[in-house]
Amino acid sequence: MWDRPPRTAETWQENWASVLPLPGVKAWGAFEDEVMVGIIVYRPYLTEDMAQLDALFVDKDHRQRGIASHLTRLLERQAIADGHTYLYVSATESQSAVGFYTSQGFVPTQDAHPELYALEPNDIHMIKILVN
């Protein structure tokens, strides 16, 4: 079984500092009343025909309710609207993360994006073919 320790404030800063200023990056949130219980981050044009699902988090008390699937579908619709054929994700090496992405149609790839692989070599790099 895979396991990854929780991220620290420093690792969050390192990860987000390089992504948030990029053009076209979008995020969608899932809310219960006024509390955000989930978020997904989209990065278009990772390559000419590939977008990236950059981050997906759902509060542990709100998992298994379809929130992550709903957010993923929103992101996929945006990627298709932007003309992408593929969606890339670098999945945390946990059984739950890899299992979720597999259930959404992602498959592990041997053709990892070099920049993302260098940042997270222990992650499971996955691709999904997008269909209109």
Q: What is the pLDDT along the chain (132 residues), one digit of tens a residue?
A: 334 444 455 554 455 555 556 778 998 988 888 888 888 999 999 999 999 999 998 888 888 898 999 999 999 999 999 999 999 999 988 888 999 999 999 999 999 999 999 999 999 999 999 987
pTM over 0.85: no
Q: Which amino acid is at 114?
A: P
CATH topology of domain 33-129: Aminopeptidase (3.40.630)
If we measure between CA atoms, which residue out of 119, 129, 122, 121 comes closest to residue 18?
119
Distances in whole angstroms, Cα of residue 2 to Cα of each of 90, 96, 106: 14, 9, 18
Give the pLDDT score at 1.
Answer: 32
Q: Which helix (H) or strand (E) holds 68?
A: helix 67-81
Give the C-alpha separation, 42 to 61, whole Å: 24
Q: Which helix (H) or strand (E) holds 26?
A: strand 26-32
Give the pLDDT score at 18.
Answer: 52
119 pairs with which residues across the strands?
A: none
Record the tokens describing residue 44, joined without a space: 């278009």
